[in-house]
């Protein structure tokens, strides 16, 4: 009866995005926009055209250099070590 014959119930629910001069974006049913295109345009709303997204390439990491850590001083292996008695 009423809802079964409505044009937006016969088709799949497709949506469109509308934008105005302020940059606001709204989403409405495609059939609602098509039936009232002149009203939407008089109010300042137009179809939103999506800009293609730019894929940013991931930055290549430079290989880290291996750093040798040396002790501030070194004791030669041939040096005798004194042992303390308890």
pLDDT band of residue 56 (cuts 50, 70, 90) is: confident
Does residue 42 lie in a domain region?
Answer: yes
Does residue 78 lie in a domain region?
Answer: no
Domain count, the chain: 1
Does residue 86 lie in a domain region?
Answer: no
Q: Is the pLDDT of residue 6 over 70?
A: no
Does residue 27 lie in a domain region?
Answer: yes
Distance of alpha carbon 72 from the chain centroid: 49
Which pLDDT does position 65 carry in this prediction?
80
Rounded Cα distance between 45 and 29, Å, is 14
Query: Which residues form the domain of 36?
Result: 12-47
**Residue bearing tokens 């934008």:** 19
Report which of 23, 22, 19, 24 is spatially closest to residue 40, judged by C-alpha positions.
19
Which pLDDT does position 67 carry in this prediction?
73
pLDDT band of residue 74 (cuts 50, 70, 90) is: low
pTM of the predicted model as reported, rounded to 2 decimal places: 0.47
Residue 47 or residue 3, greater confidence: 47
Does residue 43 lie in a domain region?
Answer: yes
């Amino acid at each position: 009866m009423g809802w079964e014959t409505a044009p937006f119930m016969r088709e799949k629910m497709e949506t469109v995005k509308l934008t105005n001069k302020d940059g606001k974006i709204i989403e409405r049913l495609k059939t609602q926009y098509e039936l009232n295109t002149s009203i939407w345009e008089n109010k300042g709303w137009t179809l939103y055209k999506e800009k293609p997204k730019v894929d940013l390439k991931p930055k290549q990491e430079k290989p880290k250099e291996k750093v040798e850590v040396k002790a501030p001083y070194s004791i030669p292996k041939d040096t005798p070590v004194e042992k303390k008695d308890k």
